Structure 1
Amino acid sequence: MSINQVNDWPWSDILIVLGFLLFLFLIRMGSSLLINRIFREKGSIQKAAFSLINWVVFNGVLLFVIFYFSDAAWLLYPLFTIGQVDITLFLIIIAVLIITFAYRLSKILNEHLLPFFFERHHLDKGIQFTMERVVHYVIMVVAVLVSLTTVGIDLSALTVFAGVLGVGIGFGMQNIASNFISGLILLFERPIKVGDRVLIDDVIGDVEKISMRATVVRTLENEHIIIPNSYFLEEKVVNRSFSDPRLRLTIPIGVAYGSDAQEVKEILLHVAHLSKQKNAIVLDAPKPFVNFKGFGDSSLDFELFVWISDPKEVIRMKSELNFSIYEQLNENGIEIPFPQRDLHIKSAPESFMEIRQEDS
């Protein structure tokens, strides 16, 4: 590279760009010190301010390019055409700035500002997730519409595209459209919500996320199941957290014939009382109840009904009740039977024994 070529470089523009980058860096440092001085304790407002400053700093270069090179030919050169509008790099940068700002604004609202509102009004986890999704979708849709209008695209010109898209949805994308609409119904009607304990095809899990197409359910084994949203509207799903979180546990127990049925009843009610003292989730109302179910093949069959307030504690509570029942029955000398079979061996006929002797 010759000296003349180097001298032909637009050094003034390069120095201005470098100076502006240094200016942005100093602005970020100064803003950080000022925010740390104002908000001595780290909180949501401080994090929101840092997030907004970071967006301004990292996108400041694009803003500088737009204003400083606004008359440059390369910035206004038409790259392609939509309808009667020539799309230039200038318009693309404007659209990117609008959309990225909307995304950052949505993130700030959902992560730093809305939690104050949720905590103040004591909203449950499901309502919080619904509001976060609605705020995000509204902001992003508005941002896309504003960006299209800003670059000069007439939205009425998109009606033909919308018609073609509608035909495509009707044929090849009907499942995606169905799951998307089902996701909106789940967010607003809320037959299930984030945090619910559900039972799907004998699999127990907690709803972790409801996205545009599918719902994520985490099982008790910490496996994640991705379920299309339409499934929850078309199939039978047991929601143990819906409306009333209380749940009745049924503990079956069999005792040997000859046992005192009234004594067994008192022992089981005593187990329920002990469980209430150890676990606050065991409820007094409805009261524990002992059901004499019937007469089995080898046992008198009982059921202990206990109500709990948290459906997520079903497995643990059943285990504790079974431990306690076994211990109390052993202490009171009440036998828990197990199936037994008597095998009767008949002697072989004498003719058969004679044949065996002759063969030997």
Structure 2
Amino acid sequence: MNTITLPIGWDTLQLWMLPAAIILISLLTGILLNRLVSQRLRAIPLSESMEQAHELFVHAFRGIPILWSLMGGIYLTTRTVSLSTNIQQFLASALLALVLLSATLVAARIVGGLATLYAKRAQTILPTTSILVTIAEVFVFLLGALITLESLGISITPILTALGVGGLAVALALQDTLANLFAGLSILFSRQLRPGDYICLSTKEEGHISDINWRSTTIRTLSQQTVIIPNVKVAQSIITNYSFPSPQLSVVIPASVAYDSNLEQVEAITLEEVNAVLRETMESPPQEEPLIRFHTFGDSGIAFNIIFTVHEYSELSPLRHALIKRLIKRYRQEGIVIPYPTQEVYLKNH
């Protein structure tokens, strides 16, 4: 009669087969639940006003069912395997900490999302920037960490005391970071700079504000380049905001014509060309009519300003380009002279 010799360690392997199966099943169940919950939540018909809040909660719980299901499997595993009391207590504490930290992650996602939604609905009160979301999430994580430590029986009083004592050293070590953080908060709550605004700094950097985070302000130039400026530099700069309080602005283009020009003809032709350029380059021309204002008897001719309105600063460059080309062509056709700078010198004989 033949005998079967079991491999070495078979008893040990057989002992761990059930726990491994429980963990594997719990992981697969979590993946299935995560997909199922996401699909069910997205299938709920909602009004347009509730759609953003719905997406917020879908994002907040993304991946969490997998983690919770896996932790449930690990907890069941600890009940099927003979472990020492110390190991069981350690695993129970670790699972409790994971539950609390995962709940903190969900809360941080929800709070950060709500902060973004609130800022979008109240742009005049608070602009939507990543620094606002970061501060809200950091606050929730700190609160969750303190609750987790307290739940594990770790007293947080010595930690708070140590933080208070070491606060000065940390502040000195991170003074640049803290300076940028508070400068960013100052920019945020002043409500004079908002994402989307077109600004020009005294150091000549200009473009649309993309974001204001805890360290820097990001500007996107018209040539689609990214300029990253520390918040302290922005707070200390002299800034021209072409979008505040309104993105619509008046543009003044200086010009001049010769002294023998018919000024009524110059005014009529110039206004005609300005209106033509506005119609061609803008989908909806502004309601304000362009103006011509003669203002100076110059050395070479009569100077005047062409004044018109654009919806935002980024429209100015292509519009000015097209206008100058059209005016040069039309003035030449009509015989209107744009004078070169000249100066007459009279010599008197003694």
Scaled by the length of structure 1, what TM-score is found?
A: 0.75
Q: How does 1:115-264 map to 2 (within 5 A)?
A: 118=120, 123-124=122-123, 127=126, 129-130=128-129, 133-134=131-132, 137-152=135-150, 153-200=154-201, 201-264=203-266
Q: What do residues 273-327 of structure 1 show as CA deviations (whole Å, max 9, x unaligned)?
A: 334544366544475232333313x443322122223222121221222123223
**Counterpart contact for 1:275–1:282, Cα < 8 Å:** no
* Structure-1 separation of matches of 2:285 and 2:42: 47
**Counterpart contact for 1:218–1:225, Cα < 8 Å:** yes
Partner of 2:66: 58
Question: Does residue 15 of the first structure (1) align with residue 15 of the second (2)?
Answer: no
Partner of 1:25: 31
Partner of 2:3: none
**Counterpart contact for 2:199–2:209, Cα < 8 Å:** yes
Change in 2 beyond 3 A, CA 1:169/1:316: farther
For 2:107, which of 99, 102, 123 is the aligned residue?
A: 102
* Structure-1 separation of matches of 2:312 and 2:208: 13
* Structure-2 separation of matches of 1:309 and 1:190: 21
Change in 2 beyond 3 A, CA 1:24/1:41: farther
**Counterpart contact for 1:197–1:241, Cα < 8 Å:** yes
Change in 2 beyond 3 A, CA 1:207/1:331: same
* Structure-2 separation of matches of 1:252 and 1:27: 68
Q: CA deviation at 1:51?
A: 3.4
For the residue of structure 2 that corresponds to 1:22, the secondary structure is: helix
Partner of 1:3: 7
Residues matched between the structures, number: 325
**Counterpart contact for 1:197–1:205, Cα < 8 Å:** yes
Q: What do residues 193-233 of structure 1 show as CA deviations (whole Å, max 9, x unaligned)?
A: 10000012233200001001111011112111111112232
* Structure-1 separation of matches of 2:39 and 2:231: 46
* Structure-2 separation of matches of 1:171 and 1:143: 24
For the residue of structure 2 that corresponds to 1:8, the secondary structure is: helix
Scaled by the length of structure 2, what TM-score is found?
A: 0.76
Which stretch shifts more, 158-167 or 278-287? 278-287
- Percent identity over the alignment? 21
**Counterpart contact for 1:281–1:308, Cα < 8 Å:** no
Partner of 1:320: 322
Change in 2 beyond 3 A, CA 1:125/1:21: farther
* Structure-2 separation of matches of 1:174 and 1:108: 29
* Structure-2 separation of matches of 1:167 and 1:53: 38
Q: CA deviation at 1:143?
A: 3.2
* Structure-2 separation of matches of 1:163 and 1:286: 63
**Counterpart contact for 2:278–2:319, Cα < 8 Å:** no
Change in 2 beyond 3 A, CA 1:179/1:290: same
Q: What do residues 25-57 of structure 1 show as CA deviations (whole Å, max 9, x unaligned)?
A: 343454455446545999656645653553223
**Counterpart contact for 2:198–2:209, Cα < 8 Å:** yes
* Structure-2 separation of matches of 1:254 and 1:270: 17
* Structure-2 separation of matches of 1:281 and 1:126: 29
**Counterpart contact for 2:112–2:136, Cα < 8 Å:** no
Change in 2 beyond 3 A, CA 1:192/1:282: same
